[in-house]
């Protein structure tokens, strides 16, 4: 039995919010696997080093850095155009750009609420809608990043939980609509992942994670990239409209211990 079906080799991928954290790890993994990848975030200077590092490495995939705020439809249209112009098409879209903040619901302003919905939900809509024509041209794949907050709820992050629940539901609806176009739409719902943001908020770094002593209460970005690679590869050809929870040991209502 071959393992080649786990390779995404030869595809073109676009990973939003890939200047850091999970998106950066997914972009690097794709390039490792021979995928040409477009990396994007809101500031060119944050995403240039990610592309440069890929292009300066011996990874078989090439990278293009594009500045794009996913809440700005004109910028998203330009991002998709730049992708197709550089690499000739688009096979895999990873809607990874996301954001949240912690606050009591009573203190959340209309602007704060709208910002979280715009980035996590409307950004996912813009990118998927803008890329539709290319994804449908030859059997594409969409991978949305949700969160366990969208499955279980999350006190002090109510707009984020609501937004990620919307992303999960959108995944199911679109997977059905686009099934006939040979585009698979799936979703990843991570629990805690050791990214720079989580490290600064919670003081837990990726270096503290020891899979020899199995706690499995916080994951690494590579463990999310593993699932993204699987979902974009032919190995997941019978996985459609699913949200894969990647959270280690379920930790509802417990304090985080690494």
Per CB under 6 A, the segment of 7-15, 189-197, 234-242, 250-258 that binds ligand NAD is: 189-197
# chain residues binding ligand NAD, by CB under 6 A: 29
161 binds ligand NAD (CB under 6 A): no
Q: Is 22 in the site for ligand NAD (CB under 6 A)?
A: yes
Question: Distance between alpha carbon 221 and the CA centroid of its chain, in Å?
Answer: 11
β-pair partners for 219: 193
- With left for phi above 0 and alpha for psi between -120 and 50, is residue 33 left, alpha or beta? alpha
Under the binding rule (CB under 6 A), the answer on residue 89 touching ligand NAD is: no
C-beta of residue 93 within 8 angstroms of C-beta of residue 127: yes
First to last CA, the chain: 37
Q: Please, which residues have CB within 8 angstroms of residue 10's CB and are 6 or more apart in sequence? A: 34, 35
State which of positions 30-49 bind ligand NAD (CB under 6 A): 41-42
Distance separating alpha carbons of residues 76 and 16, to the nearest angstrom: 10
Taking the complex as a whole, the smallest distance from the CB of residue 112 to ligand NAD amounts, in Å, to 14
Give ∠ CA 54-142-40 in degrees, rounded to 5: 35
Regarding 198 and contact with ligand NAD (CB under 6 A), the answer is: yes
Total H helices, total E strands in the chain = 9, 7
> Does 160 qualify as catalytic in the annotation?
yes
Can residue 70 be called a binding residue for ligand NAD (CB under 6 A)? yes
> 125, 134, 160, 192: which one is catalytic?
160
Please select the residue that binds ligand NAD; options are 23, 61, 159, 248, rule is CB under 6 A: 23
Rounded least distance, CB 244 to ligand NAD, Å: 12
Q: Is residue 153 within the footprint of ligand NAD (CB under 6 A)?
A: no
Q: Which is nearer to ligand NAD, 43 or 138 (CB)?
A: 43
226-256 as b/e, with b when 16 or more CB fall inside 10 Å?
bbbbbbbbebbeeebbbbbbbbbeebeeeee
Asked if residue 156 binds ligand NAD (CB under 6 A), the reply is no
Can residue 121 be called a binding residue for ligand NAD (CB under 6 A)? no
* Count of residues in the chain: 258
Print the binding letters for residues 95-114 with ligand NAD: x by CB under 6 A, - otherwise.
-xxxx---------------
195 is a site residue for ligand NAD (CB under 6 A): yes
For residue 123, what are its two tokens? 């950004």
Three state DSSP letters for 123-170: HHHHHHHHHHHHHCCCCCEEEEECCCHHHHCCCCCHHHHHHHHHHHHH
- Is 154 one of the binding residues for ligand NAD (CB under 6 A)? no
168 binds ligand NAD (CB under 6 A): no
Residue 124 contacts ligand NAD per CB under 6 A: no
Residues that bind ligand NAD (CB under 6 A): 16-23, 41-42, 68-71, 96-99, 119, 123, 145, 147, 190, 192-193, 195-198
| Residues tagged active-site | 160
């Amino acid at each position: 039995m071959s393992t080649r079906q786990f390779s995404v080799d030869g595809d073109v991928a676009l990973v939003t919010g890939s200047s850091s954290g999970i998106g950066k790890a997914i972009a690097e993994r794709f390039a490792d696997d021979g995928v040409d990848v477009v990396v994007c975030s809101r500031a060119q200077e944050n995403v240039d080093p990610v592309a440069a590092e890929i292009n300066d490495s011996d990874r078989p995939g090439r990278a293009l850095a594009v500045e794009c705020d996913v809440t700005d439809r004109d910028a998203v249209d330009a991002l998709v155009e730049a992708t197709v112009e550089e690499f000739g098409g688009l096979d895999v879209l990873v809607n990874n750009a996301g954001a949240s903040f912690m606050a009591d619901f009573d203190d959340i302003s209309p602007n704060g609420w709208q910002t979280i919905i715009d980035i996590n939900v409307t950004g996912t809509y813009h990118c998927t809608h803008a890329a539709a024509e290319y994804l449908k041209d030859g059997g594409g794949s969409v991978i949305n990043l949700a969160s366990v907050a969208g499955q279980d709820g999350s006190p002090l992050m109510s707009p984020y939980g609501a937004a990620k629940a919307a992303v999960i539901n959108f995944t199911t609806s679109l997977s059905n609509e686009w099934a006939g176009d040979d585009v698979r739409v799936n979703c990843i719902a991570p629990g805690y992942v050791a990214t720079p943001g989580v490290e600064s908020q919670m003081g837990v770094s990726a270096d503290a994670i020891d899979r020899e002593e199995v706690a499995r209460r916080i994951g690494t970005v590579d463990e999310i990239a593993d699932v993204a690679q699987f979902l974009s590869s032919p190995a997941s050809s019978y996985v459609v409209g699913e949200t894969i929870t990647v959270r280690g040991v379920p930790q509802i209502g417990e304090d985080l211990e690494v």
